[in-house]
Amino acid sequence: MSFVIRRIAFYLVAFVVAATINFILPRLMPGNPIDVLFAQQATTLPAEARQALIETFGFASGPLHLQFLDYMKSVFTGDLGYSIRFYPQTVNQVLAYAFPWTLLLAGTATLLAFCVGSIIGTYAAWRRGGLLDAVATPTSLALQATPAVVIALTALFIFGVALRWLPTGYAFNPSLDPGWTWAFISSVFIHGLMPVFSLMIVFVGGYLVTMRNNMIGQLGEDHVTMGLAKGLTDKRVQFNYAARNALLPSVTSLGLTLGAILGGSLVTEVVFNYPGLGQTLYLGIVTRDYPLIQGQLLIMTFATLLANLAVDLLYVFLDPRLRRA
């Protein structure tokens, strides 16, 4: 229990530090939300109207340290103010709409990449030098080196533009009303195929290489040799003795990735115009929407720290040596 309390206290301090950086970063950007908003419309405002807009949107005035105190109060009360880009919606409403779409897109892609990469990596290491290893390992290294935008644009051109097999953007057919109907669910599925598999291809190489290398290291350990000497089946030794221990670094990577994806897979969402957190963050940056940028970065920070805490606790469950310690 003391271990859990120490870890929670550590991540709470880390969250406060990250929230402070979150406050500073948007204010280092050139420009001002109100001025950017009206510059795009080629409109000038009197000083009185400009001040009224600042008060309407709830921007804190005065010295920076007072703004910071107001900001930290909003962080811990959950009142993140109004979004400039999507006014009169609040930041909470904007992020609440985008969150399920990112969770569906990036969460599905990450879990698929983890399962596929870990399984192929396990078999590639067990039959090192075989056909699977010879094909999968260099392919995964090539995928790791390929930028996400290249994969997304390639998929968009081939399957959306050239072959016209799949829709080129958005999360569902705009003519449909959202609901638990077969027409809407099938539309979400069809629209999600290209972005999900594009994102999965980006992630799968890392999991495959990590699992293969860790598995090769485990095959030389004494407990694996003992399992084979006892006459256990190859499959049992492969998964129960070697793969279980080799999985630990991949679990760490999975936790970090799951935390990061809640910040939104910005490139993929922008390419496919997918209405998730990444696309929302991009629109907020373009319009200097401070409240929206801060709210989105807070989600990323909280999700990453929560994922790290979950991985710390999961390590204790997976590794008996840590439980004894």
User: If you search the block for the tokens 């940056």, which residue do you land on?
Assistant: 285
CB 242 within 8 A of CB 254: no
Token pair belonging to 238: 């492969």
CB 316 within 8 A of CB 323: yes
Concatenate the DSSP letters of all residues of 275-299 into one string: -SHHHHHHHHHHTT-HHHHHHHHHH
Token pair belonging to 43: 């409109």
For the chain, which domains are there? 2-77 (no CATH), 97-324 (1.10.3720.10)
Concatenate the DSSP letters of all residues of 128-174 into one string: TTSHHHHHHHHHHHHHHHS-HHHHHHHHIIIIIIIS--S--SSSS-T
- Compute the 3-state secondary structure of the chain and give helix, strand, coil in percent, each to the nearest 5: 75, 0, 20
CB 92 within 8 A of CB 78: yes
**Cβ of 295: how many Cβ atoms within 10 Å?**
26
The pLDDT score that the predictor gives to residue 48 is 67
Given its phi and psi angles, is residue 178 left (phi above 0), alpha (psi -120 to 50 degrees) or beta?
beta
The pLDDT score that the predictor gives to residue 190 is 92
CB 80 within 8 A of CB 90: yes
Q: What distance in Å separates the CA atoms of residue 185 and residue 182, rounded to the nearest whole number?
A: 5
Which one-letter DSSP state was computed for residue 82? Answer: B
What separation in angstroms does the CA of 134 have from each of 124, 137, 197, 235?
8, 6, 23, 21
Token pair belonging to 237: 């030794």
Spell out the per-residue pLDDT of the chain, length 325, in tens.
566 777 778 888 888 888 888 777 767 766 566 666 666 555 566 666 666 666 666 555 556 777 778 778 777 777 777 787 777 788 888 888 888 888 888 888 888 888 888 888 888 877 777 788 788 888 888 887 888 888 888 888 899 888 888 888 888 888 888 888 888 889 889 998 999 998 888 888 888 888 887 777 777 666 666 766 776 676 776 666 666 677 777 777 776 676 666 655 778 888 888 888 888 888 888 777 778 887 888 887 787 787 777 777 776 666 655 555 5
CA triple 64-66-71, angle to 5 deg: 90
Work out the angle between the directed axes of helices 182-219 and 148-155 (0-180°, nearest 10).
140
Q: What distance in Å separates the CA atoms of residue 316 and residue 211, rounded to the nearest whole number?
A: 20
User: If you search the block for the tokens 């105190």, which residue do you land on?
Assistant: 69
User: If you search the block for the tokens 């301090």, which residue do you land on?
Assistant: 13
Token pair belonging to 50: 């400009």
Token pair belonging to 305: 């720290």
Predicted TM-score (pTM) of the model is 0.76
